[in-house]
Amino acid sequence: MTPTVDLAQARPIPVADWVTIPDLYADPYPVYQRMRAEAPVHWVPAVNRYMVTDYAACHTIEQDQERFSADETNSLMKRAMGHSMLRKDDPAHDVDRKSYGGVLRPNAIKRHWNAVFEQNCAKYLERLENAGPGADLISEFAAPYAAENLRLIMGFRNATQDDMQRWSQTLIDGTGNYADDPDVWAKAEQSSCEVDDAIDEVLPHLRANPDHSLLSGLAHLPIPLEAIRANLKMTIGGGLNEPRDALGATVWALLSNPDQLAQVLAEPSLWSTAFEECIRWIAPIGMYPRESTQDTVLEGVLVPKGARLGVVVGAANRDPKIFDDPETYDINRPKQPHLAFGGGNHFCAGAWVARASVVGVGMPRLFDALPNLRLDPDAPAQAGGWVFRGMLRLPVLWDRR
């Protein structure tokens, strides 16, 4: 039920005309700190959107699709990927989500996908080791590992992990193309067409030869082809970048905090804690859109009907009203729910895959395989992004056995 709000008591939304896209890309957190201190919501001309940086406000939006719709007008995601379940409200969202069945859920992961993760982890750890100390952990391990896992889960027998990486990056670049760069749109459109062609090619085979993959399950359901295409493009985007970026950023955080790494290595149950703290600290999906369906009040601020909102979970997860010393990576902080996987009816469907592939397999095997894994002091790591944020490069050293 929509809460009763007193519009007359609300204050207007301030304008943050000092915010630039390059600043957000390089390091959004100082920007978010300043915005949160001033108001829970700002109008940001650079991104043509109201940015919501307060934890309570973001949580409210996630739980209230009556006032805050996912089906945004002129959505960048719709343009880049088609009208996927992420840009739908219930009941349409629920229909699409249920079409995925149990492929991404814990039981299927235990029965089918953990063995795949183990095999792929061994393959790409060997690739990283062959590249030698000083290699980039992202390009040699985290990215191809996440891509190959996703390729097999989705059922793209007619694509490579390199295809998956290209498709994912160009499609999410389109989804985050707030600068309206025509080159970004061209690359996203090319990848969109390639994904459509791959889906059209593989569906007949999977109808005749069903397996455990997502595409196989979809091939046997009476759902429109356009819905399959849009939802799979959405899955290629988030399903690759979330585990890749969570793995890379958690390794970076642990290597930057040797005392915490020692704790984790001494107590393997802390791998999960290290992962969850990292996606709080650096949310792989840092912002997603909503649109207000009515004039309303959000944490004391007047939000007009039709407002294009950016739910900045990357800022909410560092809200000092919720988290002590939020700018610091700390596996020993008191447990508090973060918003990195979203919430409500749009809670990330791939959360279990990310946790299983990164926490259950990827990180423990990595540190076991590479003795004295450490940062390369002569080649600094680099992070980037704000709509999607992760490690751009992570050169590492280790001791040869």
How large is the average pLDDT for residues 214-218? 95
pLDDT at 1 over 70: no
pLDDT at 307 over 90: yes
Instruction: Look at residue 2 in the predicted model and tell me its pLDDT.
Output: 54
**Environment class of 253 (CB within 10 Å of its CB; exposed 0-12, middle 13-18, buried 19+):** buried
pLDDT at 84 over 90: yes
How large is the average pLDDT for residues 344-364? 88
Instruction: Look at residue 367 in the predicted model and tell me its pLDDT.
Output: 98
d(CA 258, CA 3): 47
Binning pLDDT at 50, 70 and 90, where does residue 3 land?
low
Summarised one tens digit per residue, pLDDT across range 383-394 is 999 999 999 999
Instruction: Look at residue 344 in the predicted model and tell me its pLDDT.
Output: 72
Binning pLDDT at 50, 70 and 90, where does residue 350 land?
confident
Percentage of residues of the chain with pLDDT beyond 70? 98
Q: How many CB atoms lie within 10 A of CB 41?
A: 26
Summarised one tens digit per residue, pLDDT across range 249-292 is 999 999 999 999 999 999 999 999 999 999 999 999 999 999 99
Domains (ranges, CATH) in the chain? 7-397 (1.10.630.10)
**Average pLDDT taken over every residue of the chain:** 94
Range of weakest confidence among 17-21, 298-302, 333-337, 349-353: 349-353
Summarised one tens digit per residue, pLDDT across range 20-63 is 999 999 999 999 999 999 999 999 999 999 999 999 999 999 99
Summarised one tens digit per residue, pLDDT across range 153-191 is 999 999 999 999 999 999 999 998 989 999 999 999 999
Instruction: Look at residue 5 in the predicted model and tell me its pLDDT.
Output: 60
Summarised one tens digit per residue, pLDDT across range 101-150 is 888 899 999 999 999 999 999 999 999 999 999 999 999 999 999 999 99
